[in-house]
A and B are shown apart, each in its own frame.
Chain A
Amino acid sequence: MTLTHGPQLQPDPPYRAPAYRSSERRAPSAPLVPLPLGPTERAGPLFGHQTITPADADLTRQHPGEPLGERINVSGRLLDDRGRGIAGQLIEIWQANAAGRYTHPVDQHRAPLDPNFTGAGRCLTGPDGSYRFVTIKPGAYPWRNHPNAWRPAHIHFSVFGRMFTERLVTQMYFPGDPLIEHDAIATSITDPAALARLVASFDWETTEEEWALGYRFDVVVGGHLATPVEGPA
Chain B
Amino acid sequence: MSAPSIPLPSPSQTVGPYLSIGMAWLNCPDLVDTGRPDAITVTGRVLDADGLPVPDAVLELWQADQSGRFPTAGADPDTSPPGWSGWGRCPTDADGGYHFTTVVPGPVDDRQAPHADLSVFMRGLLQRLVTRIYFPPRAGVAGADRWLPPSDDPVVAGVPAERTGTLVARPSADGYRFDVHLGGDAETVFFAW
Which segment, of A27-35, A66-74, A205-213, faces chain B?
A: A27-35
**Contact string against A for B residues 109-128, beta-carbon threshold 8 Å, 1 for contact and 0 otherwise:** 10010011101011111111
Residue A14 is within 8 A (CB to CB) of chain B in the complex = yes
Interface size class of B (residues with CB under 8 A): 35 or more
> Which of chain A's residues has its CB closest to B75's CB?
A46
A13 touches B11 (CB 8 A): yes
Contact of B117 among A25, A40, A119 (CB under 8 A): A40
Which of A27, A40, A82 has the most B CB atoms < 10 Å from its CB? A40
Within 8 A of A (CB), among B1-38: 5-23, 25-26
A28 touches B193 (CB 8 A): no
**A119 nearest CB across to chain B (Å):** 6
B70 touches A12 (CB 8 A): no
Residue B71 is within 8 A (CB to CB) of chain A in the complex = yes
A residues contacting the other copy or chain, number (CB 8 A): 80
Within 8 A of B (CB), among A5-56: 9, 11-15, 17, 20, 22-30, 32-41, 43-46, 49-50
B interface with A by C-beta (< 8 Å): 5-23, 25-26, 48-50, 52, 54, 56, 60, 62-64, 70-73, 83, 85-87, 108-109, 112, 115-117, 119, 121-130, 132, 154-155, 158-160, 163, 182-183, 187-193
A interface with B by C-beta (< 8 Å): 3, 9, 11-15, 17, 20, 22-30, 32-41, 43-46, 49-50, 79, 81-83, 92-94, 102-104, 106-107, 118-122, 156, 158, 164-165, 167-171, 185-186, 188-189, 191, 193-195, 197-198, 218-227
